[in-house]
Structure 1
């Protein structure tokens, strides 16, 4: 009891909420309320008898999924293609993100920081589907355009995250090496990079999980993989084959999420 009272006396008083934070919170709540008020959301249409019956008939068309060995073999090839697109795109983006994250963190001056951050903002502001639609004109149909689209968008995202990680890294270790005569490049590789590597790997794995889902969708515009199979069978109203493709997508995403979780656990240990 005495220790608890002593701890309460040691703890500092709770900080007071500033008026600007209160105004920001009120503004966000008002924005959400205005969004619901202005959008023509017809929630009751989802629960009418006609809507329920149409949904039941639509879902019934997916049963049973197509399980012929020949078709499953095609799904396996498309799954590997989607997996390869996401992995290669993420790897390219991670390497380029480290290279451009250095000047974006301010290590080469303010001009280089603003210029590289502007490039990264442009790359990450354009969605993968838009990149794929543009690159399909230059690279043609297939997974190559999808891989480049994933790499460009992820490059912008990871480059910005890596720059923030380098910028927020404690400078004491690198400064100690610099004071003792170490080259800036050596100080980066022996101090900054080891300190930031767990965070960099966590960001990379998280973006890989996102790219698995994005790669499965990029096939809709002709970038190969499971998405292209899904678009093909849905366009022909072959719902049973489309159900098998959707199940393969769900299983692949689940496996990658589990693998990413295990890798993050290994890093934290």
Structure 2
């Protein structure tokens, strides 16, 4: 019998790695020490009784047919906002990912990645507040806010995917005289498209939640209904809106999971 080959010795952990881990641990400890966390008041009897009484005000949810019809319209509006915003972000993110992955030189890479950093560093709520001035109240501003922020996220993810893609297939085509654009479309893009589509579907799930919140600043959908009823202390109607949000998120999560699973297989 042949003896199994011995495994090579594990690499030694560098001192810089230990120093980085120690700094992270100290940062976490300093965060707990510096923040005024009132755990005793949070779990106290008075806080629990107040929370239970507040949640009891949401029961029972409003189930009037006219109100449910309005909920259905707002749900479709929220779904449309997230879908269109994600689609626009995927298209623009793919276009920006080409220079961001270094295909047009280092200067274009740095400029494009800087622009993508700006787009994704500003939250959707801030983008919506800015775009409401130009587009007015309604779902159009919310859709644009989702598209702008998600373009920054998907553009960065797509660029990293293109950079990490094995270059052998595209290089082989280019050596044999295939133009660069055709080599990219027939070799690199098909290889990276499943990962890119997985990113798009994941961001669509996130945009469903974000679209429901953007209504707080007047961007339409379920979020705008929730803000309206909460501001009037109409808790029963607000409970129905919250349930519609939860159901919408669950349905989209399930559909996205099924699509990702089918694509990866």
TM-score normalized with structure 2 length: 0.98
- Are residue 68 (structure 1) and residue 50 (structure 2) matched? no
Alignment equivalent of 2:4, drawn from 3, 6, 9 = 6
**Large movers: runs of 4+ above 2 Å:** none
* Post-superposition offset of 1:14: 1.6
Note if 1:119 corresponds to 2:115: yes
Q: Distance in 2 between matches of 1:260 and 1:19?
A: 43
Structure 1 position 87 matched with structure 2 position 83: yes
**What pairs up with 1:152-167 in 2 under 5 angstroms?**
152-167=148-163
Q: CA deviation at 1:12?
A: 2.0
The corresponding residue for 1:45 is 41
Query: Counterpart in 2 of 1:55?
Result: 51
Cα displacement (A) at 1:50:
1.5
- The 1-side partners of 2:167 and 2:44 are apart by 61
Distance 2:43 2:172 in 1: 66
Summarize the alignment of residues 191-206 of structure 1 with structure 2, pairs less than 5 Å apart. Answer: 191-206=187-202
CA-atom RMSD in angstroms: 1.0
Report the CA distance between 1:49 and its aligned residue.
Answer: 2.0
Alignment of 1:223-234 (within 5 A): 223-234=219-230
Query: SS in structure 2 opposite 1:62?
Result: coil
Corresponding position of 1:107: 103
Whole-angstrom distance in 1 between the partners of 2:10 and 2:70: 61
Q: Following TM superposition, by how much is the alpha carbon of 1:126 offset from its aligned partner in structure 2, in angstroms?
A: 0.3
Local SS of the residue matching 2:4: helix
The 2-side partners of 1:98 and 1:182 are apart by 22
How far did 1:56 drift? Answer: 1.2
Q: How many residues align?
A: 265
Residue 222 of structure 1 deviates from its aligned partner by 0.2
Return the offset for 1:224.
Answer: 0.2
**What residue number does 2:13 align with?**
17
Q: CA deviation at 1:220?
A: 0.4
Secondary structure in structure 2 of the residue aligned to 1:6? coil
1:31 aligns with 2:9: no
Q: Distance in 2 between matches of 1:54 and 1:137?
A: 39
